[in-house]
Amino acid sequence: MMRSNSGLWQVEAVPAFQDNYLWVLHDGAQAVVVDPGDATAIATFLRARKLALRSILCTHHHADHIGGVADLQAQFGPVEVIGPEDARIPGRTQTALDGDVLTLAPGEFRVLAVPGHTLSHVAYCWRDRLFCGDTLFALGCGRMFEGTPEQLHGSLMRLANLPGEWWVHCAHEYTLSNLAFALAVDADNPALQQRGQQERARRQVGRATVPSLLSAERATNPFLRCTAPAVIAAAEDWAGSVLPSPVAVFAALRTWKNTF
């Protein structure tokens, strides 16, 4: 087996369940895993490449993100488990607080608190890559299970302000269903139309649509475009009332999407 000792880290998606992506960073010898919902999928990947598991990062407490943590700890020995301050995340050895900079095998990870999908949700930034769990999706955003529209909108704006050339590593392949909604909201957006063709073509040959570029999300994701006149008009049309703020537009879009 080819083993790289060059210290070059790469990121790979491990598919799991119906449509989850579990992210593995590795350099050919050691690995860091983000949101291992499924221990078997991760263990199979690590063993096939003879990777030593060093750290597990958790973005939030949902089972499809943390379900494999305990099993991986049992299988791979003492592994540091980093996650937000939340008793619903078991096995945590280190707490990730907003603004923390974690020094792990691949380098520094910056922690951003992004409440909304859940209240304790965090995202991790490493180099030009954002691991954002279920907060921001390609062409969409997470459901608001625990937070308010103000919180989730604020979290999305925080992510949207990261550099446009960064890659968004979200946790699900939801892009085509998100695309259908985005087109219902923002049909005349040429950047969205073009991206739609590209993403459909990718899925037709079974390719992942993630990671996506943050600049593409800013140009095409309706949930990041709550100040665009066309998006405001569509949201007001759906709501049947004037929406006086970007948060009100966001709240209407999120509710609309739930029944779309």
Residues that bind Zn ion (CB under 5 A): 62, 134
To Zn ion, the closest distance from the beta carbon of 16 in angstroms equals 14
To Zn ion, the closest distance from the beta carbon of 41 in angstroms equals 17
Minimum CB distance to Zn ion smaller for 88 or for 110:
88
Minimum CB distance to Zn ion smaller for 62 or for 92:
62
Contact criterion met (CB below 8 Å) for 94 and 81: yes
Question: How many C-beta atoms lie closer than 10 Å to residue 255's C-beta?
Answer: 15
To Zn ion, the closest distance from the beta carbon of 244 in angstroms equals 30
To Zn ion, the closest distance from the beta carbon of 66 in angstroms equals 10
Minimum CB distance to Zn ion smaller for 145 or for 238:
145
To Zn ion, the closest distance from the beta carbon of 59 in angstroms equals 8
DSSP symbols for the chain: -----S---EEEEEEETTTEEEEEEE-SSEEEEE----HHHHHHHHHHTTPEEEEEE-S---HHHHTTHHHHHHHHSS-EEEE-S-TTSTT-SEE--TT-EEEETTEEEEEEE--SSSTT-EEEEETTEEEEETSEETTEE---SSS-HHHHHHHHHHHHTS-TTSEEEESB--HHHHHHHHHHH-TT-HHHHHHHHHHHHHHHTT----SEEHHHHHHH-GGG-TTSHHHHHHHHHHHTS---SHHHHHHHHHHHHHT-
Minimum CB distance to Zn ion smaller for 13 or for 239:
13
To Zn ion, the closest distance from the beta carbon of 117 in angstroms equals 6
Minimum CB distance to Zn ion smaller for 118 or for 220:
118
Minimum CB distance to Zn ion smaller for 51 or for 114:
114
